[in-house]
Amino acid sequence: ARLVATYLALMPAAEAQEIKSLIKYEEETAGSLMATEYLAVKAGEKVRDVLAQVKKQAEEAESITYIYVVQSDNRLLGVVSLRDLLTHPDEMTIDTITNTRVISVKAGDDQKDVAQVVANYNFFSIPVTDDTGHLLGIITVDDIVDVLDEEAVEEYSGLAAVNVADTDDTAWHSALKRLPWLLGLLVLGMVSVAMVASFEDTIRQAPILAAFITIIGGTAGNAGTQSLALAVRHFGAGTEKSGWKNLFSEILAAAVVAVVTGLVLALVVFVWKSNDGLALAVGLSLAAAVLVSAVLSHLVPAFLNKINLDPAVVNGPLVQTICDWVAILIYFGIAQAMLDQFIGK
Amino acid sequence: ARLVATYLALMPAAEAQEIKSLIKYEEETAGSLMATEYLAVKAGEKVRDVLAQVKKQAEEAESITYIYVVQSDNRLLGVVSLRDLLTHPDEMTIDTITNTRVISVKAGDDQKDVAQVVANYNFFSIPVTDDTGHLLGIITVDDIVDVLDEEAVEEYSGLAAVNVADTDDTAWHSALKRLPWLLGLLVLGMVSVAMVASFEDTIRQAPILAAFITIIGGTAGNAGTQSLALAVRHFGAGTEKSGWKNLFSEILAAAVVAVVTGLVLALVVFVWKSNDGLALAVGLSLAAAVLVSAVLSHLVPAFLNKINLDPAVVNGPLVQTICDWVAILIYFGIAQAMLDQFIGK
């Protein structure tokens, strides 16, 4: 959808061509997505004349649902729907049926933000302008459907550390797609192994400590995955509030989650083992690991968004691995410090 | 978009009303999504007459992009675009410009499948018929955008075990939303704790075993998450092949992934600890845990899809927890059986 512009009675073809060739748009922007075959007319024209122009240009235009009304320098003034043209008398000027509260996007806008606008307003198409309001093209909703699909697949793939776009792979290709992240995470997982191994003596003294590695690391990882998903969705949806306000809100939510899960685990361990020292050490470790994991998993995508990278590149399993590191260090740190209070009980 | 039908010169209003009241559509089907204000004309009419009808009905119709051509009993014959109407002579009959290869959906079709059809073909709207081909309504692409958004949010929320739809929650509401799954998973995680605790004696004899719990459980969980995401996306996208073929393909892919990751871990452990027995036990455990986890994580959503439930209800963290169980049992089972071959080395 990047062909030659058809301006109706607006400017010589050569000039349009010149403008077009001057402008290059970055990938994933409104500019790269737009079609330049839109219908535009000047204010003050009669319904009959506009209809005649629409008939003449209908074959080439990307969409005839809307006709844009522009100034002589192609600055966007408003929009008339074909529906309104068809239902109003031929002799009327279009000014009376022109909607001047037209919502447009800028050529440099991110396609994700454009998709959100179109989805929120249920538009069939949206005009694209340059920074000074000159009409450059239109984006139709069928292209937005593709963008939404693409972005959803990207987010979802990120959360699972595998590209889910092609569902018709052979077993061999499917395996090759999954291996890179799995192997990378395996190498990072060796850090966890080395961390636990460095606490071998502590485990020798209290083998029961080994039993809680999975639940503390796992719960921290789950809390981290939730934070990550909420952050990616939040920044992806473009409903960004102030970064500090977000962070503060996330810390509060993470703290509530941390305290509740920590208390529950401490209680269960106390009932099961009648060992208050162990219950305290395990509960405290879980609460601390959950809090740090959740906040970290919010901060990383928030930071990526801040520096204009896609927050969806942080994947779920990577977050799980990092949460494991956090959990192991906190857990064995606390357990070692409190060893005297629960050993041999 | 569920108002009274406007059939153009087709049937008396009372009859239309009667048909409408007889039909109730289930949620998330094409029928529940469609608008009944479409434009329909009989074959054989002149372009001029159809245009006149369009002008008369334009105000009420949900979309005037397409005019549907029907038999006298309202059976769908084809479609004419408004664009074609506008660019053809008034005296021509519409039969020559009617496209009879019109793609339609059935009222009972799942909205997810309808969205996929509209997205794949880049339609602006699609007609909905009953089982015998009678035109019931149309679904426009702006409604499809909402469906795609909804389904993407559902899948993504499932993978993270948290509803990501509302990004404007207070910290307190956000915490309350995350807690149910976290607490449920914490309780299930206690099963892992009990499992490891039952191997306390084994760990006492070889504390180094504790170091590999996280990496084996974590890698199995990562492989499971990938399988889950691919399966949910696969079944969600409606590109389903035979269930047995899918399962066989998944087992093959999982086997390749299992062998490669198992070999890599065995090699690393061998180099690090110079203990061939430990390397073999750990590598074998990882391979077996990855294989079982990946296949299980494919089977559960496949089964849910088979019995017409949404596979996206299986969430990522739940899969991680179940993979932990699998990994712990396999790992300590193998480690205990091979204890003589690596202990004290």
The answer to whether the CB atoms of B211 and A225 lie below 8 A apart is no
Question: Does the beta carbon of A154 lie under 8 angstroms from any beta carbon of chain B?
Answer: no
pLDDT of residue B62: 74
B136: its two tokens: 């019931």
Please give the average per-residue pLDDT across B241-250, as a whole number: 80
Cβ–Cβ < 8 Å for B295, B254:
yes
Nearest Cα of chain A lies from the Cα of B312 at a distance, in angstroms, of 12
> CB-based contact (8 Å) between A182 and chain B?
yes
Q: Within an 8 Å CB–CB cutoff, is residue B214 touching chain A? A: yes
C-alpha separations of A15 from A60, A135, B228 in Å: 19, 14, 54
Helix (H, G, I), strand (E, B) or coil at A179: helix
User: pLDDT category, B19, cuts 50, 70, 90?
Assistant: low
Contact across the interface for A249 and B144, Cβ inside 8 Å: no
Chain B window 215-234: which residues touch A at a Cβ cutoff of 8 Å?
A: 215, 217-219, 221-223, 225-226, 228-230, 233-234
- Of the two residues B149 and B263, the one the predictor is more confident about is B263
Tell me which residue has tokens 């000027």.
A93
Residue pLDDT, tens place only, B300-317: 988 888 887 878 788 889
Q: What value of ipTM does the predicted structure carry?
A: 0.81
Helix axis angle for B213-236 and B141-160, nearest 10°, is 160
**Residues of chain A neighbouring B256 (CB-CB closer than 8 A):** 171-172, 175, 179
Rounded to the nearest 10 degrees, what angle do helices A141-160 and A111-121 cross at?
120
Which has more pLDDT, A20 or A196? A196
| Comparison of pLDDT for A150 and B297, the residue scoring more | B297
Estimate the share of chain A in helix, then strand, then coil, as percent rounded to the nearest 5. Answer: 65, 10, 25
Nearest CA in chain B to A269: B190
Shortest CA distance from A88: residue in chain B: B55
List chain A residues with CB under 8 Å of B253: 171-172, 174-175, 178
Q: Tell me if B261 and A186 make a contact (CB, 8 A cut-off).
A: yes
Distance CA B245, CA B249 (A): 6
Which of A145, A171, A201 lies closest to B252 in CB terms? Answer: A171
pLDDT in tens, A315-324: 889 999 999 9
Instruction: Check pLDDT > 60 for residue A22.
Output: no
A200–B contact, CB cutoff 8 A: yes
Q: Which domains are present in chain B?
A: 13-151 (3.10.580.10), 169-342 (1.10.357.20)
Residue B139 exposed, middle or buried by CB count within 10 Å (0-12, 13-18, 19+) = buried
- Better-predicted residue by pLDDT, A16 or A236: A236
Q: Where are the extended beta strands (E) located within chain B?
A: 40-42, 66-70, 76-81, 105-106, 125-129, 135-140
Q: Which strands sit side by side in the sheet containing B66-70, from one edge to the other?
A: B40-42, B66-70, B76-81
- Strands B76-81 and B66-70, bridge-based pairing: antiparallel
**Residue A157 touches partner B, C-beta closer than 8 Å:** yes
Mean pLDDT of A277-285: 96
pLDDT of residue B16: 58
A59 touches chain B (CB under 8 A): yes
